Amino acid sequence: MNNSKNLEAFLKTQGAVALKRYKYSDVKKMTDSFQDKLGQGGFGSVYKGKLLDGRMVAVKVLNETKGNGNDFINEVASISRTSHVNVVALLGFCVEAPKTALIYEYVPNGSLEKFIYIENPLETHSHLGWETLYKIAIGIAHGLEYLHRGCYIRILHFDIKPHNILLDGDFNPKIADFGLAKLCVGKESIISMTGARGTAGYIAPEVVSRNFGAVSHKADVYSYGMMMLEMVGGRKNLNVRVTNLSEIYFPQWIYKRLDLMEDLGLHGVTTVEEEEIARKMILVGLWCIQMDPSHRPAMSKVLQMLEGSVQALQIPPKPFISSPATEEGSSSTTSIS
């Protein structure tokens, strides 16, 4: 009950009247009593639905037993007033104790992770192609640049990963799931945090330990870089199934090949144009995962690098001290501060 009161108080302060409020009975009706489940996570479950005007939607029903409404508050506060082709649109919400739900535009191709890992027998790089991967990487960069600089308020996402990138019918990417997002008032994006947030394998080092620097929008840049390297490599950056220990950590492995000017040895690269795309994505990704946040480019610079000439890109300093100790496949989200 207190949770419901907190959410109602939040909605009043936010003036979330721009979003349509639905009753829980409306949510049941639009999802046909939750017949078509699209996915599930620690936050709850997502179902396919249809509005009265015929528009398809994705309905996220938040877990009643987890958290104190932070996921709902973060989502509504961060993206209720955003408008960008590369950010998923929030269309409405439901707060009817103890039920809480969020209604989004429906994105038909689902999440990026379904398409980029070669070990998945259903989808590989041969289905998307390097030009499509490149287009997706640029689209995500545009979305993040908007959140960091072009939005009504600076938004730090803190959970950029393939699972949270949705693809529309033309494989245009949309950044989704703002449950861990932070809003920044003013020009500076440096924020105070108690504890880490994000998903293992994509969390910037300064989010875990302030010894690496202050937490800012550069944390999203790091996550973006790790994700782009996974797009290039076609597998998780940390792959415990690989028997050769020197090749477990993909960023380290590919950096060594670049440094020694060896063949990249990547899946599906058959033309000079594809080689240039792959090399450009690798170089930008390695710049994005520099340990020192101040050495990482802002997303506006990332876009310049991606859209410019590969010959203009320099090999960055080695962006890691050693291979990470975390295991591949960890999708658990750390505690929210």
* pLDDT score recorded for residue 165: 97
In which domain, by residue range, is 32 found? 2-105
Instruction: For residues 37 and 181, state if they share a domain.
Output: no
Q: Which of 26, 36, 53, 159 is catalytic?
A: 159
Alpha-carbon gap, residue 70 to 303, rounded angstroms: 32
Instruction: For residues 138 and 238, state if they share a domain.
Output: yes
Mean pLDDT by 10 residues, the chain (337 residues): 66 68 96 95 89 96 73 85 94 90 96 82 59 97 96 92 96 95 78 80 92 93 97 78 60 88 83 94 97 96 97 91 45 33
**In Å, how far are 9, 105, 142, 282, 303 from 86, measured between CA atoms?**
30, 12, 7, 22, 14
Q: Select from 254, 337, 333 the least CA-distant residue to 44.
A: 333
Instruction: For residues 256 and 167, state if they share a domain.
Output: yes
- Where among 105, 133, 164 does a domain terminate? 105
Instruction: For residues 301 and 238, state if they share a domain.
Output: yes
Q: Select from 238, 251, 259 the least CA-distant residue to 314.
A: 259
Instruction: For residues 118 and 101, state if they share a domain.
Output: no
* 36 flagged as catalytic: no
334 is a domain residue: no
Instruction: For residues 97 and 240, state if they share a domain.
Output: no
Assign residue 161 the CATH number of its domain: 1.10.510.10
* pLDDT score recorded for residue 128: 84
* pLDDT score recorded for residue 276: 94
| Backbone angles phi and psi of 199, in degrees to 5 | -120, 135
Instruction: For residues 301 and 219, state if they share a domain.
Output: yes
247 is a domain residue: yes
Helix axis angle, 299-307 to 272-288, nearest 10°: 160
Binding-site sequence positions: 60
User: Do residues 158 and 219 lie in contact, with contact meaning Cβ atoms separated by under 8 Å?
Assistant: yes
pTM: 0.88
